[in-house]
């Protein structure tokens, strides 16, 4: 799936990932390829991506919103 993590003034990440783990307002949740469409609020925490090669990347966020559909994930953060 294609993941973009953006801030109002910059792009933190844009590229493929196998899994995204996100700090939802009701707890951690994960998104994998072919996930059902989703829009959800995010709280302060860490966004963890597992990339295609098995490598991980982590991003500290202060909150935000995720929108996902058809293997295109947009994560808008502060």
Q: What is the pLDDT of residues 9-21, one digit of tens each?
A: 999 999 999 999 9
The CATH number corresponding to 2-77 among 2.60.15.10, 2.40.50.100, 3.40.50.2020, 3.90.1720.10 equals 2.60.15.10
- pTM (2 decimals)? 0.93
| Long-range Cβ contacts of 49-53 (<8 Å, 24+ apart) | 49/3, 49/13, 49/17, 49/19, 49/20, 49/21, 50/17, 50/18, 50/19, 50/20, 50/21, 51/15, 51/16, 51/17, 51/18, 52/16, 52/17, 52/18
Over residues 28-46, mean pLDDT: 97
Residue 52 has pLDDT above 90, yes or no: no
Residue 43 has pLDDT above 90, yes or no: yes
Structural tokens at position 36: 């059902």
Q: What is the pLDDT of residue 54?
A: 86
Task: Please report, for the chain, the start and end positions of each structural domain, with discontinuous segments joined by +.
Answer: 2-77
pLDDT at 23 over 90: yes
């Amino acid at each position: 799936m294609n993941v973009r993590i953006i801030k109002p003034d910059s792009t933190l990440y844009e590229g493929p990932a196998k899994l995204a783990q996100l700090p939802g307002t009701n707890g951690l949740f994960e998104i994998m390829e072919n996930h059902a469409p989703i829009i959800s609020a995010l709280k302060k925490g860490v966004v963890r991506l597992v990339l295609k090669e098995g490598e991980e990347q982590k991003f500290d966020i202060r909150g935000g919103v995720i929108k996902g559909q058809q293997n295109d994930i947009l994560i808008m953060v502060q």
